[in-house]
Structure 1
Amino acid sequence: ACEPATPSVVTPAVYHWQARLQLQPEERSYLAAAGIEKLYLRFFDVDFDEERQEVVPLSILEVADSLAGIREVVPTVFITNRTFQALDETGVDTLGARMLRLLTKLERQLPEQIEVREWQLDCDWTATTRPAFFHLLERLRAFLAERGDRLSATIRLHQLAYPQQTGVPPVDRGMLMCYNTGDLQEPETENSILELGAVAPYLGQADQYPLPLDLVLPAFSWGVLFREGRMIRLIHPLSPAHLSDTSRFLALQPPWYQVRKSTYLEGYYLYRDDRLRLEAVEVDTLQAAARLLHRRLRPEDRTIALYHLDTTLVNRYPHGLLPQIARLFEEP
């Protein structure tokens, strides 16, 4: 006889990406109300410094919080692609050793009650940088295996869809990033963060992917600044409230605004006639993305996270959203 399908266990979580960890009261109450006790905590970035001609850690995390209510932290490191273009195999080994030292040092600064069972590396590797990045993953995974812990890596949608071409990272789990689906630099793009129509084509073989997959969904907003048709920079966080001064900003056809007179915005100087595309993901779009992914991914125990914890998340997304998505994925 057929066994009844067992429900999956889904753990809600959130990413914290700022360089200083000090939770605001409203962030703390949001986490408590949403039942979130797991935090993916960016410890530092790794990049190649052109001036010094060496690979360096950047924005190293400063922990200034007791993390009351949080049980588990996943230390996370973002690594740029050009880091690996600058390194040979010996250089990758040296980088691995330096990262281990810094990760374990920062880990020791976490409050007593925090459990660490996994580290995560975030890198949008290419065919060129794959050998070096995968070698680094193997080094870190061997270290973690000795202490009984796991290593995970972020997986972009194109890496999910084409594992034969992109390679499958040598890690214990993947974290599927369901965002940055559109072309940021293209003025015709309406929302580069998440367009459902752009996600579906990548999910045809999603249930065949060789790693167990956790999932992270976008709960952030930003402004994309264009000058004379060219994308200049991202400004984030950015919300309609930042652009409500009608003497400086003219609301055009959504999602566009025009700068009426040269001005500063969040520390950046904008010129008259610059245009801003204000991008955010609506709650119903997130729910629809979750339903689509639920249909296409294998049922398994997984973490589902939101990226990332800040005032935008707290003010824009109800605390019931993540528990609701988790319940959907728990259904057999």
Structure 2
Amino acid sequence: MKKDFFYLILFLFLVSCSQKEKPAVSFYYWKTNFSLSTSEKETIKNNAVQKIYIRYFDIDLHPKTEEAIPLSPIHFPEKPNVNEIVPVVFIKNKVLLKENLDVEKLAKQTFDFVNLINTKNGLSCKEIQIDCDWTLSSKANYLRFMESFKRMSTKKLSATIRLHQIKYFEKTAIPNVDSGVLMYYNMGTIGVNTSNSIYDREIAQRYIKSLKKYPLTLNFALPIYSWGIHIRDNKVIGLRSKMSVLDLKKDKKFALDGDANFVVTTSNYRNGTFYKKGDQLKIEAISKNDLKEMAADLSENAATQPKEIIFYDLDEFNIKNYEKTIFEQVVSCF
């Protein structure tokens, strides 16, 4: 009798595990023109992508008037061929630090501009996301902005969340939103001798154990981009996007100096940036093993199963660095 009961419990456990639904694969799109390449379209199709988070515009302060203004709004040469798009508005923290900021006015202008872009391009959305790395100093304005925005909108509202806001949520506060997205990247310091600033597991481990206590429903955003840290005279002078070890190995003006470091052998211009002989480029990237490690750690520490894993960002330069099944492999870790 006890033996039969044991097998019944085991059977029910195995059934429940097999029925556990994997998170969906989604992407961020972070360009100013929505126009997908062949490989980007194939990635969407092969991963049954239903939702794309599209950066609609940034909000920054005008250099002369100090007024909050939208920058680099999205254009749609083609319409997204997915079930759902989520407009994302990136607000620079310095905007919310501005003295005497009219938060209600900013929220209305932001909401109206999202609607204007949708109307102009014949688009609709069920959700809007606000991306801002708010601080203790900007917290009050940020929270008021989110309250105002939510009140104006009849749509779902989500917010991006950083690791420090997870661990110290009682101080940093939790915005009044329907859900959040933990941006699981840009963890470290960009420096000459620092470890990978995009992902550092040692740093992440200091924070993710707090996930179980975090009361907001979360999805997770994982990085698939790479960049080069431009160093001159032992000082960081810039961050260069869309750089990889494989690409630089093909350029004879750059010589490999270690696993992912290059030295400029001949002064040259590359993608509009001047590289002086003797400059260094430290390439930071995310391997498939990094992605699986991230997923395993997040799965172990998450309070609930995420509905989506959102990869940053949908770009053929990023996609070509991985095998076609990488996104399926990563979500299978949850």
CA distance in 1 between counterparts of 2:245 and 2:281 reads 11
For the residues of structure 1 that align with 2:103 and 2:267, how far apart are their CA atoms? 46
Structure 1 residue 201 displacement after superposition: 1.4
Residue 176 of structure 1 aligns to a residue whose secondary structure is: strand
Aligned to 2:145: 136
Matching of residues 270-281 of structure 1 within 5 Å:
270-281=275-286
Tell me, in whole angstroms, the C-alpha distance in 2 between the residues paired with 1:207 and 1:268.
44
Q: Distance in 1 between matches of 2:130 and 2:52?
A: 15
Q: Which residue of 2 aligns with 1:261?
A: 266
Match of 2:178 in 1: 172
2:295 paired residue among 287, 290, 294: 290
- 1:315 and 2:326 correspond: no
User: Does 2:147 correspond to 1:150?
Assistant: no
Deviates more, 1:313-322 or 1:30-39: 313-322
What pairs up with 1:77-156 in 2 under 5 angstroms?
Answer: 77-89=89-101, 91-110=102-121, 116-144=125-153, 147=154, 149-156=155-162
Counterpart AA for 1:39: I
Gaps of 5+ in 1: none
Matches within 5 A, 1:16-95: 16-68=29-81, 70-89=82-101, 91-95=102-106
Contact 2:224/2:319 (8 A) holds in 1: no
Indicate if the aligned counterparts of 2:230 and 2:236 stay in contact, CA closer than 8 A. yes
Q: CA deviation at 1:126?
A: 0.8
Higher relative contact order (CA 8 A, sep 6+): 1
The CA distance in 1 between the partners of 2:20 and 2:148, in whole Å, is 35
C-alpha distance in structure 1 between counterparts of 2:60 and 2:91, whole Å: 6
Write the distance in 1 (CA, Å) between the matches of 2:37 and 2:251.
Answer: 30
**Aligned in 2, Cα 1:299/1:268: closer, same or farther, shift over 3 Å?**
same
Structure 2, unaligned stretches of length 5 or more?
Answer: none
Identity %: 28
Which one-letter code corresponds to 1:143 in the other structure? Answer: M
Choose from 196, 204, 207 the match for 1:199.
204
State the shift of 1:243 in Å. Answer: 1.9
CA distance in 1, matches of 2:163, 2:147: 22
The residue matched to 2:284 in structure 1 has which SS?
A: strand
Cα drift, residue 37 of structure 1: 1.9
Q: Is the 8 A contact 1:8 1:301 kept in 2?
A: no
Aligned length: 321
Cα distance, 1:320 vs structure 2 = 1.9
**Contact 1:183–1:192 under 8 Å retained in 2:** yes
Hey, what's the Cα distance between the residues in 2 that align with 1:13 and 1:77?
17
Please provide the CA RMSD for this pair: 2.0
AA aligned to 2:31 is Q
- Partner in structure 1 of residue 192 of structure 2: 187
Rg (Cα) greater in structure: 2
Scaled by the length of structure 2, the TM-score of the pair is 0.90
SS in 1 for 2:207: helix
State the 1:9 CA deviation: 5.5
Letter in 2 for 1:29: E
